[in-house]
Amino acid sequence: MSYLKYVILLYGIIFMPLNISLAQIQLGGLADFEIRKGGSESSMYVNQTPNGKWAVYTPAVRLFFNSNISDNWYILSTLQADHYNGVELSEPFFSVININWVPLSNSDLTVSAGRFVIPYGAYSNKFLSSDNSFVHLPLSHASGLPVSKTRGILYEDVEYAPDETGMNMVYQRMYTQGIKVQNNLGENNFFSYNLALTLASASSFFEYGKHNKPAITGRLSLHPAIWMDMGLSFSYGAFMKRDSVNNIISDKNLSKFDQTLIGGDLKLTYLYYTLYAEYNWSQWNAPYINGNSISGNSYISQFANASHFSMELIVDFYFLPGAYSGLRYENLWSGDLKDEGNYSYNNYGKWTYNRDRIEIVFGYKLERDLIMKVSYLTSGDNGPGLDDNVFTVQLSVGF
């Protein structure tokens, strides 16, 4: 079975183009190939790197299938295999599959239903390696925080299951399920909106409905000048999943545990320079389950929050078309941890630890669909002092 994923992807690459004209399907793909060396405490949970050894690494492979049904209806889908769960490439699955309706021929208004990219933050438009000037996703999408969709708030004394990990501010795979409406308005798309009712908040993902109320996620953006873009993003909804460890919590109470996420982003361009800045604040209302066995468990409700700031400067080389250099600096700050009575737990230590990191990258478009990046990521924290710096040479291949 370990080779099945490659057989399916190879079959799609080789044989599907033969049927494009008959089925009116547009086929494309994107594969990332890397030589990567991380610090000794590297993991997918810490720095998107499976371990600290030298490796030839394939973080993600995607096939894109798009088909027009009529002038007003079309389907978008992405078949994906990635390393999200660890050191092995996952079995292929549809990370995106949705049906879209364009009700007006002279408008950008689109209604979508199915699975799509989470419409939150500037990186909703940069989640593919071909659109991301850097190799890594920002800390808001890639650094795990000690809150779980099954257990709630995590503490050092909890006996975690082998697969127990925390959550990111935004789900790292960056897809969700639901119904979405998007539109561009005004001259030069002066105002845009991308709003979705989904099954879970931005930090979580459910294959099917777990609660009787939807989550809402969206991004509003302004384009007041050719050199400026501004965005406001938000997400609110339940994030917890029913599991044997939380069976002491009723369905009604489980749906009350939610995430509130608010963010703003800014893009400025001048000649060969592009500056991005983004801020995110997230709060989870989550249980702390006091106990590790089913019998005798109790829980209390707590509020935990964290903030994230990032700034990116990208310089295109006018003397070498297709080449650029980039610098990204970011911080993730631990916030307060309080219970329902607004009593702070900070006297027992922070909920989590602060993190900061810098990524330096050089990129060059070798061909139209062939991009090479050389990246070095250096990280620091005021907690465990992880050895998690990463050196990467990435080749992003579109087809």
Q: 350 falls in which pLDDT band (50, 70, 90)?
A: low
pLDDT 10s digits, 305-324: 999 999 999 999 999 999 99
Per-residue pLDDT for 170 more than 70? Answer: yes
pLDDT 10s digits, 88-115: 888 999 999 999 999 998 899 999 999 9
Mean pLDDT of the chain: 88
Q: Which two tokens stand for residue 175?
A: 């897809």
Give residue for tokens 């009350």. 256
CA distances from 100 to 28, 94, 146, 214 (A): 19, 16, 37, 20
**Average pLDDT score over residue span 342-354:** 61
Is 238 within 8 Å of 255 (Cβ atoms)?
yes
Is 389 within 8 Å of 378 (Cβ atoms)?
yes
Domains, the chain, ordered by start: 32-59+122-398 (2.40.160)
Per-residue pLDDT for 255 more than 70? Answer: yes
pLDDT 10s digits, 263-283: 999 999 999 999 999 999 999
DSSP class of 226: T
Least confident of 150-159, 215-224, 292-301, 371-380: 292-301
Q: Please report, rounded to a whole number, the percentage of residues in the chain having pLDDT higher than 90.
A: 66
Gap between the Cα atoms of 127 and 322, Å rounded: 20
The dihedrals phi and psi of 292, each to the nearest 5 degrees, come to -120, 0
Gap between the Cα atoms of 205 and 61, Å rounded: 20
**Model pLDDT, residue 341:** 60
Q: How many CA atoms lie within 13 A of 119 on its CB side?
A: 25
CB atoms within 10 A of CB 54: 11
Give the list of residues 6+ apart from residue 99 with CB closer than 8 angstroms, or none.
73, 74, 75, 112, 113, 114
Question: How many residues appear in the chain?
Answer: 399
Longest dimension (CA), the chain: 69
Could you tell me the sign of the dihedral formed by the alpha carbons of 18, 24, 30, 31, in that order?
Answer: negative
**Model pLDDT, residue 43:** 84
What residue type is 263 in one-letter code?
A: G
**Model pLDDT, residue 125:** 92
Burial class (CB in 10 A: 0-12, 13-18, 19+), 291: middle
Which pTM value belongs to this model? Answer: 0.87
To which H or E segment does residue 116 belong?
strand 110-117
Q: 72 falls in which pLDDT band (50, 70, 90)?
A: very high
**Average pLDDT score over residue span 384-392:** 93
pLDDT 10s digits, 143-160: 889 898 988 888 654 444
**Model pLDDT, residue 18:** 43
Is 261 within 8 Å of 236 (Cβ atoms)?
yes
**Average pLDDT score over residue span 227-250:** 93
**Model pLDDT, residue 159:** 45
Give residue for tokens 């990521």. 377
Gap between the Cα atoms of 87 and 385, Å rounded: 23
Least confident of 75-79, 189-193, 252-256: 252-256
**DSSP per residue over 221-237, as a string?**
EEEEETTEEEEEEEEEE
pLDDT 10s digits, 122-133: 999 999 999 999
Residue 112 vs residue 45, higher pLDDT: 112
**Model pLDDT, residue 349:** 47
**Model pLDDT, residue 336:** 82
Beta bridge partners of 136: none
**Average pLDDT score over residue span 178-204:** 95
